[in-house]
Amino acid sequence: MFYLLLTGDIPTYEECVAITEEWRRRSELPKYLIDFMNAIPVDTHPMTQFSLAILQLQKDSIFAERYRKGMHKLDYWDPMYEDVMNILAKLPAIAAYIYRRTYKGNVHIPADPKLDWGGNFAHMLGVTDDPAFKDLMRLYLVLHCDHEGGNVSAHTCHLVGSALSDAYYSLSAAMNGLAGPLHGLANQEVLRWIMEMMEKIGQDPTKEQISQYIWDTLNAGKVVPGYGHAVLRKTDPRFIAQREFALKHLPDDPIFKVVSKVFEVAPDILMKHGKAKNPWPNVDAHSGCLLWHYGVTEYDFYTVFFGVSRALGVLAQLIWDRGLGLPIERPKSVTTEWIEQFIASQQANKA
């Protein structure tokens, strides 16, 4: 997937194996990083730990070092590529370390060099031996990796990188954006919302009960998590891909059944409510129930999965940013007077 995002071509099997081997070679976490992660208070949100760990690795940035030595601007892409490869190689181990330290008594599982990037990540989490979980991780990491550049995490990475900040600074910042509840954190919010529903109205709620719960959410001035999208105007294909996985592997899972019933009733309600431009589910409406099924029940961790995956897309774009010599970003600002005049002209047009 990274090869595809970077080059636009589907890699051969041999090229996939070569990248897997390259990442395996670069994957070891330095001792200073482990010491640093162990010093973070264990009740710190996993996304904060993740962002901090990426930032701490910045001291090893090859881009920053070469820039200090005075590299030519036509060469920027090359050390950016090296930094990106080093980061991507380490992200699964960093994420697994945070998971095991936070939730599994700081007992860690060594990497399995025979496994691919996604399969090894699933292995190091140590939640189950079911091979379907490795497949889920592969699916998950593919589905969440890319998006056009306008979403918060991709745009943040591009924006910070436009100041010639290196890949560590740029990705850490992108992860802080991903940690917002309207963006990546929505996957944890969905599960929290569904759990609260099941606690309140029972493990097997009817469609009528779910409808009432959705209306209660909206009437309390809250969003229905996992629904709506800034760009899409239909059911997110990534939701469908996860639904197909669930229908194959866990059709009788009680949370999956609730997710399916919400899917049946929520779009109509959101249309009646009349605010959301897109009443259909997005990627986050489904992922939590799959993770929970295989034993990842600590939903505060869910956005870290999203982050490991999203890094593939935003970092591929960052290499291209430097390759294309894109300039520093500088959005135009307007004055309060300009805003007042703009609103007045809009109102005059309506009248």
Q: Is 158 helix (H, G, I), strand (E, B) or coil?
A: helix
DSSP codes of every residue in 303-331: HHHHHHHHHHHHHHHHHHHHHHTPPPP--
Tokens representing 53 are: 């760990």
The residue (of 3 and 215) whose beta carbon lies closer to ligand COA is: 215
Any idea which residue has 């990248």 for tokens? 19
| Contact yes or no for 11/3 (Cβ under 8 A) | yes
User: If binding is defined by CB under 6 A, does position 305 make contact with ligand COA?
Assistant: no
Question: Which is nearer to ligand COA, 33 or 157 (by Cβ)?
Answer: 157
Residue with smaller CB distance to ligand COA, 67 or 215: 215
Q: Does 267 bind ligand COA (CB under 6 A)?
A: no
Interface residues for ligand COA in 85-144 (CB under 6 A)?
A: none
**Active site residue ranges:** 183, 229, 284
Instruction: Give residues 228-257 in contact with ligand COA (rule: CB under 6 A).
Output: 228-230
Total residues contacting ligand COA by CB under 6 A comes to 18
Q: Does 284 bind ligand COA (CB under 6 A)?
A: yes
Residue 195: which residues within 8 A CB-CB, separation 6 or more? none
Cβ at position 156, least distance to ligand COA in Å: 15
Dist. CA 135–CA 77, nearest whole Å: 33
Considering beta carbons, is residue 117 or 302 the nearer one to ligand COA? 302
User: Of 49, 211, 235, 282, which one interacts with ligand COA (CB under 6 A)?
Assistant: 282
DSSP state for residue 44 in the 8-state scheme: S
Angle at the Cα of 189 from the Cα atoms of 186 and 191, rounded to 5 degrees: 115
Would you count residue 186 as binding ligand COA (CB under 6 A)? Answer: yes
Pick the closest to residue 210 from 194, 225, 221, 226 (CA basis): 194
- Site residues, ligand COA (CB under 6 A): 182, 186, 218, 223-230, 275-278, 282-284
